[in-house]
Structure 1
């Protein structure tokens, strides 16, 4: 298991960032590596992002040595989304089978977690978000059919999309973690359009199901002084509470969104008019 650390930045800091520095601080390109478990710890609301791709063997993790606790989840909860082939996640000896786009909620106090793929030829790709938690909530597998789907946007504006809530008070309770998956309709390219801010929560995106040759232009920064990141398949992006987040793809794609902060009110947002963007 590897753990990279990012310390975060404020809106005034990124005024001087070139492309390389912006990518280094906000973009994770190496979460998904064959037969490895990779984590990034960010000081932006203490979110940990992780990726695991078990192929020829089972991968295990759970030590809290790098974050100063007995176990990784001694004081944390975690959401695990499967973005690949069928896989199995075992939590302290209890096994859960995750098909593509299933999500497992792992509550505070879990000690040993292992992940495996049903087939080495079509491995599972496990994407993880973990945040501090102040309550013990039972683990739960959320199948795709059990998620709550909402539809947003308009095909005339190229932003029609289906949003599925998995870890959310209306589906599966958690302490502070929210997690879901958004799919864009055929012919739509924009996500989260128009943009918004939510000062009481940060968010992380993981883009997936993007063809190898395609890219997403992810917009971030303050509305009056935007920046952008060019992202590829399975890249993850940090979006601090002070930053807008929206993107447009050159081809079809989906993304996992994860949030944490002061509340779990999904609609606690401040819309930003397109005319305000600079």
Structure 2
């Protein structure tokens, strides 16, 4: 498990591109036949990727998080970004198609991940955060997610946001998780940007051709920086950082959040004219 320690916004002015990417960008999560995890000290989120092929992949030991089991004091959302597959949690089998998400509650002992077709494997993207209560596991299909249509053509930020793990759809302790798809011709994943001081966020950009990129903007409003992001890369966004991005071509992204609350609208907008 990779470890990222998090940094202060006062450190950002001294970072070159290599250091910025090392601290905030998680690459190569989806390796065929493997599970990859990264642990960040930013609100203790664990980000993971698994791409099972011919052999099932499993996890559940808590050694890397300091507890008897991985889920002794944690919950998780698992989004399928690839071909169809199954997730078995303590003997209960859940079938996930593309853009379905499984919520795994505190207390789970063993998770097994499989792909229906090894030639078109599932790609399971995971966000896990500390949890203080037991909530039943639940599969949320794309059809069950709550859609919100946002943005406008004139600003090239028209998009459909789907809430999956959210109090209005499927409850959790502290995790929020969903998927956003941009409308054809739009490039901005949010505009204008905003801050939410009481929550951090992780973005997993996907469904992007290998030749295309997303330019993810971060940092304080008066000290912005950019990350050039490829398909399936994950960006960590601390509470002190703005976040917005523009793609050179079509893309989608999974957003996952945790912090003091689950109020999706607890944000502080930042005017475009304030950015530097």
TM-score range normalised by the length of the shorter chain: over 0.9
Aligned to 1:11: 9
Mapped to 2, the partners of 1:63 and 1:30 lie a distance apart of 22
Equivalent in the alignment of 2:136:
138
What secondary structure sits across from 1:9 in the alignment? Answer: coil
The alignment's TM-score, normalised by the length of structure 2, stands at 1.00
| 1:59 aligned to which of 52, 57, 60 | 57
CA RMSD of aligned residues (A): 0.4
User: C-alpha deviations, 1:117-152, integer Å up to 9, x for none?
Assistant: 000110000000000000000000000000000011
Q: How many residues align?
A: 276
Counterpart residue number, 2:35:
37
Q: C-alpha offsets along residues 155-209 of structure 1, whole Å, 9 cap, x if unaligned?
A: 1110000000000000000000000000000000001111000000000000000
> Paired residue for 2:252?
254
Partner of 2:146: 148
Q: Does 1:238 align with 2:236?
A: yes
| 1:28-76 Cα shifts (integer Å, max 9, x gaps) | 0121101000000000000000000001110010110111101111100
Deviations 1:81-110 (A, max 9, x none): 000000100001111000000000000011
Q: Summarize the alignment of residues 172-211 of structure 1 with structure 2, pairs less than 5 Å apart.
A: 172-211=170-209
The SS at the match of 1:66 is: helix
Aligned partner of residue 9 in structure 2, secondary structure: coil
Instruction: State how far apart, in whole Å, the 2-side matches of 1:235 and 1:63 are.
Output: 25
Query: Alignment partner of 2:44: what SS?
Result: coil
* Structure 2: unaligned runs, 5 residues or longer: none
Query: Secondary structure in 2 aligned to 1:54?
Result: coil
Q: Give the corresponding residue for 2:123.
A: 125
* Mapped pair 1:161 → 2:187: no
Q: 1:66 & 1:137 partners in 2: Cα distance? A: 23
* CA positional deviation for 1:217: 0.1
CA deviation after TM superposition for structure 1 residue 212, in Å? 0.8
Match among 243, 252, 270 for residue 272 of structure 1: 270
CA distance in 2, matches of 1:258, 1:26: 15
Partner of 1:225: 223
- Which residue number corresponds to residue 26 of structure 1? 24
Rounded to whole Å, the distance in 2 between the matches of 1:254 and 1:124 is: 17
Runs of 4 or more, structure 1, over 6 Å off, are none
- What is the TM-score when the length of structure 1 is the normalising length? 0.99
Give the secondary-structure state (helix, strand or coil) at the position aligned to 1:149. Answer: strand
Matched ranges for 1:71-150 at <5 A: 71-150=69-148
Long gaps (5+) in structure 1: none
